[in-house]
Amino acid sequence: MRRRKTPVEIELTEPHLCSMDLRLHILHEVPFFSALGHDQIAEINQQFHEKGFQSGDYLYFSGDPAESLFIIAEGRVKLLRHATSGKDVMLDLLVPGEFFGGLSTASDSSYFETAQAITSVCALTVSREAFRTILTRYPDVGMRVLDLVTGRLEAAHATIHQLSSQSAEQRIAFTLLKLADKLGEAHEVGLLIQTPLSRDELAEMTATTPETTSRVISQFQRDGWINTGREWIALTDPAALLEIAEIPT
Amino acid sequence: MRRRKTPVEIELTEPHLCSMDLRLHILHEVPFFSALGHDQIAEINQQFHEKGFQSGDYLYFSGDPAESLFIIAEGRVKLLRHATSGKDVMLDLLVPGEFFGGLSTASDSSYFETAQAITSVCALTVSREAFRTILTRYPDVGMRVLDLVTGRLEAAHATIHQLSSQSAEQRIAFTLLKLADKLGEAHEVGLLIQTPLSRDELAEMTATTPETTSRVISQFQRDGWINTGREWIALTDPAALLEIAEIPT
DNA sequence: GTACTAAACTGATGCAGATCATGGAATGAA
DNA sequence: TTCATTCCATGATCTGCATCAGTTTAGTAC
């Protein structure tokens, strides 16, 4: 048996449920609950339900009635929209501690995006009503949520800016930096992006085709800026990528 | 003296200040204050300051320290980001009753976008701290603000989706519909978009060049779907535009 | 080790839309 | 009225990236 060449280490194939310890730990980690005490977290924990998914499962589809807010306890989830062409557009990639789903307090609203597990996932869910109750009870939490959503809006605007004014190469460089920042880990092959990351997915994130992504990635590799293989990429020279990405200050 | 051909009727060229009546009226109109009573509005009004701008003025630049939240009382403002190429990317076009600017409660944050008046404008401003105080005092207001920001995030995601997967023609058609929906008025020439709207600005909104925009607009005109002239466009057949925009449900 | 499969790479070709360039028309000022 | 300015239309050309097609390689199962 040959040695695995992929340095990526996420290996959760079974639908995943998480221990009570993990649940409480994650709720503490969530940026908008982090200011609360143990007792309050424990109480809030009562409101949450647990759901397991395996890689590839859909958590919900866009257009479904938005019943719950989700928080990832373990695994990775991508938010996407389907294009008429059949290709998907990835809007966000979420990691443990992040929330998504039904945020709107409007009672008739639907999910705007589709959420799909890209590893096996344990998610905590809370009904819209219960979440709203939490927000009214702890105004500081509401303030934090508002800040986080504002931050996402800013990120979305940055993406619009990029799509409007930058080349495929620049968008790919920037996306790699963003991913490394979010889920990169130091590794002998470089700053490894710890997600099974295919060329197809990278293409969905950068509004290009897998072919173009592959060409650009190959070029970056030839330039000695990255290290890459099947479903993994590691950055060896982030500064060079930053250079060509021309991040607007 | 020749007769003007443009049917657009926004004519505020002097920097504009607004009457106390208008101020109170606008604060009532703002979606997140609409549930409050007169007394509360009057009190909140104390926290706001008034600023006048004339067409072309910048309200703030991206990167400036984010000190205030703005609400438009009169006029129109565009939010934009500058691209390194020199061309701007328009992110939003705001009308009376809408808010923008410093929403984040983080004390060291900066404005993420540049705001420019495209007519003469009267804006109400409130310091970040005062706004935060209002939010903690009236939790319902906070909830409404959260909903509104969530709505903007959804709109931004829709834009990303469009830029990623639709043609210039489709994006322009969709943008025209969006604008007509926001600020269109019935008129003998059709559903008139009541903003001085140049080809350049439309190009900034749709991530195309003015030339491409001009060609597409000309084609729409030949097809009999719109009526257009210098800095104005009126929709005569919105259904046809909706058809080609292929709005994803 | 071999066989199989999905992912990745790479070449050839085509096209949407950017870019470059020019003429014409609406508006405001003198 | 005339002029200057700004906006718009449209033709000609160019190019980045999509598309189409085929080959190679990494990872898995046996």
pLDDT at residue B105 greater than cutoff 60: yes
Q: Find the distance separating the first CA and the last CA of chain A, reported in whole Å.
A: 49
Q: How confident is the model at residue B113 (pLDDT cuts 50, 70, 90)?
A: very high
Q: How far is B22 from chain A (nearest CA, A)?
A: 29
- pLDDT value of residue B2: 40
Q: Which two tokens stand for residue A20?
A: 């009570």
Q: Are strands A99-101 and A49-53 parallel, antiparallel or unpaired?
A: unpaired
The partner residue sitting opposite B149, judged by closest CB among A63, A153, A160, is A153
pLDDT at residue B16 greater than cutoff 70: no
A-chain residues within 8 Å CB-CB of B147?
A: 104-106
Q: How far is the C-alpha of B161 from the C-alpha of B171, rounded, in Å? A: 10
Mean pLDDT value of segment B157-176:
96
Q: How confident is the model at residue B54 (pLDDT cuts 50, 70, 90)?
A: confident
Q: How far is the C-alpha of B238 from the C-alpha of B181, rounded, in Å? A: 10
Q: How far is A199 from chain B (nearest CA, A)?
A: 16
Taking an 8 Å cut-off on Cβ atoms, the answer to whether A81 and B248 are in contact is yes
Percent of chain B whose predicted confidence (pLDDT) is above 90: 59
Q: What is the mean pLDDT of chain B?
A: 89
Taking an 8 Å cut-off on Cβ atoms, the answer to whether A87 and B156 are in contact is no
Cα angle A163, A168, A172 (rounded to 5 degrees) comes to 95
AA letter at B193 = I
Neighbours of A209 (CB within 10 A): 15
- pLDDT value of residue A188: 85
Cα angle B125, B129, B133 (rounded to 5 degrees) comes to 100
Assign B104 to helix, strand or coil. coil
User: Which nucleotides of strand C come closer than 7 angstroms to any CB of the protein?
Assistant: 1, 7-12, 16-21, 26-28
Task: Give tens-digit pLDDT for B57-95.
Answer: 899 999 999 989 999 998 999 999 998 888 899 999 999
Task: Give tens-digit pLDDT for B121-154.
Answer: 999 999 998 999 999 888 889 899 999 999 999 9
CB A207 within 8 A of CB A142: no
Query: For the whole model, what pTM was predicted?
Result: 0.93
- pLDDT value of residue B226: 95
Q: Which of residues 229-248 of A touch strand C (CB under 7 A)?
A: 230-231
B-chain residues within 8 Å CB-CB of A99?
A: none
- pLDDT value of residue A85: 81
Q: Which residues of B fall below an 8 Å CB-CB distance to A? A: 63, 81-85, 87, 89, 91, 103-106, 112-113, 132, 135-136, 139, 142-143, 145-147, 149-154, 156-161, 163-166, 207, 246, 248-249
The residue to which tokens 């999910």 are assigned: A111
Mutation pick from A147, A153, A162 vs chain B, by most beta carbons of B within 10 Å, is: A153
- What is the pLDDT tens value at each position of chain A, 249 positions in all? 234 566 666 555 555 667 777 888 888 889 888 888 888 888 898 899 999 888 889 999 999 999 899 999 989 999 999 988 888 999 999 999 999 998 877 767 899 999 999 988 999 999 998 999 999 888 889 899 999 999 999 999 999 999 999 999 999 999 999 999 999 989 888 899 988 899 999 999 999 999 999 999 999 999 999 999 999 999 999 999 999 998 755
Q: Which of residues 79-108 of A touch strand D (CB under 7 A)?
A: 85
B-chain residues within 8 Å CB-CB of A103?
A: 146, 150
The partner residue sitting opposite A136, judged by closest CB among B84, B139, B164, is B139
- pLDDT value of residue A236: 94
Distance in angstroms: CA A230, C1' D29: 18
Taking an 8 Å cut-off on Cβ atoms, the answer to whether A143 and B160 are in contact is no
Q: How many CB pairs under 8 A join A and B?
A: 128
Q: How far is A92 from chain B (nearest CA, A)?
A: 10
pLDDT at residue B14 greater than cutoff 80: no
Q: How far is the C-alpha of A17 from the C-alpha of A60, rounded, in Å? A: 18
- pLDDT value of residue A34: 85
